[in-house]
Amino acid sequence: MKLIEKIGLAALHRIDPETGHGLAIKALQLGAAPLPGLVTSPRLRTRVAGLNMANPVGLAAGFDKNASALLPLSRAGFGFVEVGAATPRPQPGNPKPRLFRLSEDRAAINRFGFNNDGMEAIGARLAKRPRDMVLGLNLGANKDSDDRAGDFARVLAHCGAHLDFATVNVSSPNTEKLRDLQGAAALTGLLSGVIEARNALERPIPVFLKIAPDLSEAEIGDIAEVALSTGIDAVIATNTTLDRIGLHGPHANEAGGLSGAPLFEKSTRVLAQLSQRLDGRLPLIGVGGISSAEDAYAKIRAGASAVQLYTALIYHGLSLGAEIARGLDRLLDRDGFSTVAEAVGTKREDWL
């Protein structure tokens, strides 16, 4: 299985990154990608915001923007899958090229700008989802919207019946002024509207908030207070960064959000700071630079109850999620933890 994947990755890396990503989705749809199936154990099974997960390793939003490969992704070894981001109306996103590989850094820069098919088309696909997966949708706002805060609630109201969780994404750097919604007053108003839409669903679901890594300690404190006061269910830390420190290669200074290995330390530090502020009152999901079981374990011990990955799949293949879950099981066993929850935050001080 790994040999087939390596050959496929080598071929994809010879073409434009966005075209390669589209071909990877097509391979999944056609059943041409090897899939590991369910990965779980008594140690790996975990519960986050009321969601029972076979393992704590999730697929981050952005890989399957349009919810077009749900069945194969449900067999890819992840404990949970997040698709999107979805906006109320379809939008093409920013001009191409808008995705760049930084192979020397095991990283990527993207400036997609919430390109997606819109909530009507995505909602129709979600309605046909496999029921044996934990599935979430990343909520976004249209670039030209007069009411960006309201867009998040509209997408949730339309798609919420088919989801297990929804994520409010105000941390993408690729939609102008979107990150302004992370300010305390704007964020409170936005999240209140989303929670109202969630509560109106026939089956209310958990709502997560995804934050940027480019925040001061004071801003992290404000977000923690807003998260607690508005009644959201978890925080995802973090999205991509605007930093460009120490990068290599011809694409190092491209505009957009940087993801992958260079983001690991920064995102983990924000995660730990947020964990300290929240002190167990809300679960956290760690994202940013995870490419191994050791990376995932470090996020958990810094305060995450679960983790997500995406960019590392560009370099290691889709089987990485299952590999990380199996490796995490071994690490938990090595250190005497009988569950993921026992390990959460046990090394947080190392990152503060």
User: Which residue ranges form the domains of the chain, and what is each CATH number?
Assistant: 36-351 (3.20.20.70)
Q: What is the pLDDT of residue 260?
A: 97
Closest CA to 316 of 289, 285, 287, 340: 289
* Helix 17-29 vs helix 2-12: crossing angle, to nearest 10: 140
One-letter amino acid at 20 equals G
Closest CA to 1 of 38, 44, 29, 34: 34
First-to-final CA distance of the chain: 40
CA dist., res. 158 & res. 267, Å (int): 32
CA dist., res. 321 & res. 325, Å (int): 6
User: Per the structure block, which two tokens stand in for 165?
Assistant: 């969780």
Q: What is the pLDDT of residue 350?
A: 98
CA dist., res. 284 & res. 282, Å (int): 7
* Beta carbons within 10 angstroms of residue 337's beta carbon: 18
CA dist., res. 341 & res. 304, Å (int): 9
Alpha carbon of residue 90 to chain centroid: 21
Q: What is the pLDDT of residue 130?
A: 97
Tens of pLDDT along the chain (352 residues)?
A: 577 788 888 888 999 999 999 999 999 999 988 899 999 999 999 999 999 999 999 999 999 999 999 999 999 999 999 999 999 999 999 999 999 999 999 999 999 999 999 999 999 999 999 999 999 999 999 999 999 889 999 999 999 999 999 999 887 776 666 667 777 888 898 999 999 999 999 999 999 999 999 999 999 999 999 999 999 999 999 999 999 989 998 999 999 999 999 999 999 999 999 999 999 999 999 999 999 999 999 999 999 999 999 999 999 999 999 999 999 999 999 999 999 999 999 999 999 9
Residue 192 falls in the annotated catalytic set = no
Calculate the alpha carbon distances from 116 to 56, 84, 138, 236 in Å.
Answer: 27, 8, 11, 21
Catalytic position from the list 41, 74, 171, 172: 172
Q: What is the pLDDT of residue 179?
A: 65
User: Hey, what's the torsion of the CAs at 224, 298, 318, 209, to 10 degrees?
Assistant: 0
Q: Can you give the pTM of this predicted structure?
A: 0.96
3-state helix, strand, coil in the chain (%, to 5): 40, 15, 40
Q: What is the pLDDT of residue 9?
A: 86
Q: What is the pLDDT of residue 175?
A: 66
